[in-house]
Amino acid sequence: SFAVPCALLRLMCAAAVLTYSWVIGGFGAKEYADDAKKYIEIEKLISENYVDGIARSELYESAASAMVRSLGDKWSYYMTAEQYAAYKLSSANEYAGIGVSLKQNDKGEFEISSVDPGTPAYTAGLTAGQFIVSVDGEKVKGMTITELQELIRSKLDKNFNLEVSDGKGDESTVNLACEAIYQSPVSHRLLDDGVGYIKIRNFEAGCCRDTVAAIEYLISIGAKSFVFDLRDNPGGLLSELAGVLDYILPEGDLFVSVDKTGRETVLRSDKICLKYNMAVLVNENTYSAAEFFAAAIQEYDWGTVVGGQTGGKARSQSTVELSDGSAIHISTGKYLTPDRKDLAAAGGVTPDVPVQNTVDGTDLQLDTAVSKLRY
């Protein structure tokens, strides 16, 4: 419930203030002493009496998480040090790994289905069709894929031995490193009739560079129009969004951010723009920066938005690292479209052409978007 996290918030703040007061000579202790005392009493009672036992660190992690949950804002959350490390990799469009895709058979064995060029696995000579037997001597058969991924990620920036098999009894061992591997958020292909299709998975690091490169490549091989697929795109960095929109749109406002005092900051586009017919694909899992991309294209009448109603996330977050390596991700402002529309209040972006895909696997949304382009 809301009341319990709020109480924990108050108690933890009190405990922190009291702790500092002991160090610096009593400043602020009087105001928070009762709450701090209660928090310490609860912790002591749990530690001494809880039948199954619990680590003190777990109590503090749970309390810290509850503090942020008490805000009632689904976009604000607490991250442990491990979660924050993974978050930083994700924001850089990187993942900790060796550069392979895996599939698990009904025997619990892990087969390498593909190896990405330029990765540690590629350099070590691993190939599709091999099976991973052990990681640093720890047998992996029977693990889940998630467990195996976590085991490999635990070796980040370290060299380790990977035992592999050809599936016929011949086994070998390679030494390689788990590294942060960049994975482009953009993919592209040329469809029939000169339609350049660009899928943008997120607007994290590298998105602007890779999107512009995709557009220019598709133009060089004959693209006459574009479909930007932002379905299931959770958003990302304002700087990446602004860069892509500046490349595409004519001169004018691109984006408005508003802080808690009501002060506006406006990002603008220059006169250089992309003069091609275009459509934008969205759905209910299109959030944040991806929604604002669609909204800007729509408000400039620069293209047709096709698909489903978007999620309506129009709040900006700041991530602050804490002293122990954990972090708080907290809403600190709101975003408005070029026409000063709050997408949270509006319930997201309403497509110009509402279309839902069917269960038979036909991509009606893409087909509709292509049909709306005029050559």
pLDDT single digits (tens) 137-165: 999 998 999 899 999 999 999 999 999 99
Residue with tokens 């009291």: 18
Residues sharing a CB contact under 8 Å with residue 118, sequence separation 6 or more, in sequence order = 99
pLDDT tens by residue, 190-211: 999 999 999 999 999 999 999 9
Give residue 20's pLDDT band: very low, low, confident or very high (50, 70, 90): very low
pLDDT-derived band at 334 (thresholds 50, 70, 90) equals very high
Say if residue 354's pLDDT is above 60. Answer: yes
Rounded Cα distance between 343 and 349, Å, is: 7
> What pTM was estimated for this model as a whole?
0.81
pLDDT recorded at residue 47:
86
CA 40 to chain centre: 36
| pLDDT value of residue 7 | 46
Report DSSP letters for 28-60, one per residue. THHHHHHHHHHHHHHHHHHHHH-TT---HHHHH
Lowest mean pLDDT among 31-40, 204-213, 247-256, 321-330: 31-40
Q: What string of DSSP letters covers 270-338?
A: -S----SEEEEEE-TT--THHHHHHHHHHHTT-SEEEES------EEEEEEE-TTS-EEEEEEEEEE-T
How high is the pLDDT of residue 28?
52
Distance between CA atoms of residues 277 and 374, nearest Å: 7
pLDDT above 70 (res 349): yes
Q: Is the pLDDT of residue 55 over 90?
A: no
Helix then strand count (H, E) for the chain reads 11, 19
Q: Indicate the pairing of strand 131-135 with strand 138-139.
A: antiparallel
The pLDDT of 307-330, averaged and rounded, is 94
| pLDDT number for residue 129 | 96
Q: For residue 126, what are the CA distances in angstroms to 112, 129, 290?
A: 8, 9, 36
- Higher confidence at residue 23 or residue 186? 186
Average pLDDT over residues 279-286: 97
All residues at 6 or more sequence positions from 316 whose CB lies less than 8 Å from its CB, including other chains:
238, 257, 331, 332, 333, 334, 335
Residue 289 binned pLDDT confidence (cut-offs 50, 70, 90): very high
4 pLDDT higher than 50: no
Please give the helix or strand (H or E) that residue 176 lies within, else none: strand 171-177
